[in-house]
Amino acid sequence: MNLTHLECGACGLSHEARRLHNLCSQCGKPLLARYDLQRAAETLTKESLAGRATDLWRYREVLPVEHDENVVSLGEGWTPLLSVARLAAEVGLSELLIKDESQNPTQSFKARGMAVAVSMAKELGARKLAVPSAGNAAGALSAYAARAGLEAHIFMPRDTPRANVIECEQTGAHITLMDGLITDCGAEVARLKDAENWFDVSTLKEPYRLEGKKTLGYELAEQLDWELPDVIIYPTGGGTGLIGMWKAFDEMEEMKWIGSKRPRMVTVQAEGCAPIVRAFEEGKRFADEFPNAATTASGLRVPRAIGDFLILDALRASGGTAVSVTDGELIAATREIGASEGLFCAPEGAACLPALRKLIAAGKVKQSERVVLFNTGAGVKYLESYGG
């Protein structure tokens, strides 16, 4: 298609596109896919979208897979953007929306990233894929690898929600449960991958999960008739979705679909694991590892994110901020959202509501502004968090 090269997000070094890469060969930071957007815009137009399939592959010209036969899909993307009028009234906003990613295959936003990452791994000749995961990425990799006929090797903390473990078991993955956190699982993948001939598809340690996640930004713009919201509140562990949306906005502007106005991007983390919040408050570009990370929202239990600087850059460039909430607040918010709007959110997604309240109280969000919250997954995958 229109993929031209990969570019390091830190040092800018260019890498050849059509071969397997993990991190930058020079500085070890994440690689970003770059496209010939002028060429892409010849066929990918706002008008052309009307007749396309309602999945993330509708944006095919700005996705990296070259040959259609390598597209691995379970129908991911094009999730609903729901107006939540009762919640809006309760918090005092004129317009509040929730992008509901629980309606993806494997019931979380991780399906987007893994669909594109597995498709590219297949196209570029990988046969065994490995990932450390707090849960939902494992389920997504397992499903998409099975769909592609590839092996999936999953490393998860022992206290990962049981639903995620069963999901991986039933979709044929090789599973290792470990004491410790996702960072410990990542270290084990790194230790074994060369000897086992695994391709590491960890968050931002390959360039294409980000490309799947950036379709959140394309969809949001399309669903809002190309007028981006004033504020996006996003639960952040590894941060790929937030980084991806920020990348999508730049691509759309280059294709002249939108102007230069951007939403204020807001990261939400749990108080028990808030490395991005801490780095933002301290004015740092890189986040120190968060000690003794603990939260029931397993997707937020990421003590150190390799894309930390990309997250923090987007927050600051957009005039946004970073907010932490307690586990008690996010669990209470799950019930509030459910009772008000019928959505059983994942704890990570529910965390956006108390964060929004804090922003309103601090005068950082105004009553007249359009705000979008992201529910990244389904609450039924976290029954342990609710005493079930």
User: How does pLDDT run across 61-82, given as a tens digit for each residue?
Assistant: 999 999 999 999 999 999 999 9
pLDDT of 10 higher than 90: yes
For residue 375, what is the enclosing H or E element?
strand 370-375
Average pLDDT (48-65) is 97
In percent, the amount of the chain with pLDDT more than 90 equals 98
Model confidence band, residue 356 (pLDDT cutoffs 50, 70, 90): very high
Q: Tell me the three state secondary structure of residue 145.
A: helix
DSSP 377: B
pLDDT at 134: 87
Model confidence band, residue 132 (pLDDT cutoffs 50, 70, 90): very high
pLDDT of 381 higher than 70: yes
Pick the CATH number of 81-106+210-386 from 3.40.190.10, 3.40.50.720, 3.40.50.1100, 3.40.50.300: 3.40.50.1100
Q: Which residue has the higher pLDDT, 362 or 387?
A: 362
Model confidence band, residue 150 (pLDDT cutoffs 50, 70, 90): very high
> Is 301 buried (19+), middle (13-18) or exposed (0-12) by CB count in 10 A?
buried
Average pLDDT (139-147) is 98
Q: Which residue has the higher pLDDT, 1 or 168?
A: 168
Sheet holding 128-132, edge to edge: 174-178, 151-157, 128-132, 199-200
User: On the CB side of 279, how many CA atoms lie within 13 Å of its CA?
Assistant: 26
pLDDT at 1: 80
Model confidence band, residue 387 (pLDDT cutoffs 50, 70, 90): confident
Average pLDDT (94-121) is 98
User: Please, what is the angle between helix 136-148 and helix 110-123, to 10°?
Assistant: 40
- pTM for the structure as a whole: 0.96
pLDDT of 110 higher than 90: yes
Average pLDDT (40-53) is 96
> Would you state the structure tokens that stand for residue 98, as one six-digit string?
């929730």
For residue 157, what is the enclosing H or E element?
strand 151-157
Average pLDDT (114-141) is 97
Distance (Å, rounded) from C-alpha 145 to C-alpha 119?
9
Number of H-type helices and E-type strands within the chain: 13, 13
Model confidence band, residue 372 (pLDDT cutoffs 50, 70, 90): very high
SS3 track for 10-53: CCCCEECCCCCCCCCCCCCCCEEEEECHHHHHHHCCCCHHHHCC
pLDDT of 388 higher than 60: no
pLDDT at 14: 98
* Residue with the two structure tokens 């607040």: 329
pLDDT at 23: 97
Model confidence band, residue 46 (pLDDT cutoffs 50, 70, 90): very high
**182-231 pLDDT, tens per residue?**
999 999 999 999 999 999 999 999 999 999 999 999 999 999 999 999 99
Taking the domains of the chain in order of start, what are their residue ranges? 81-106+210-386
**22-43 pLDDT, tens per residue?**
999 999 999 999 999 999 999 9
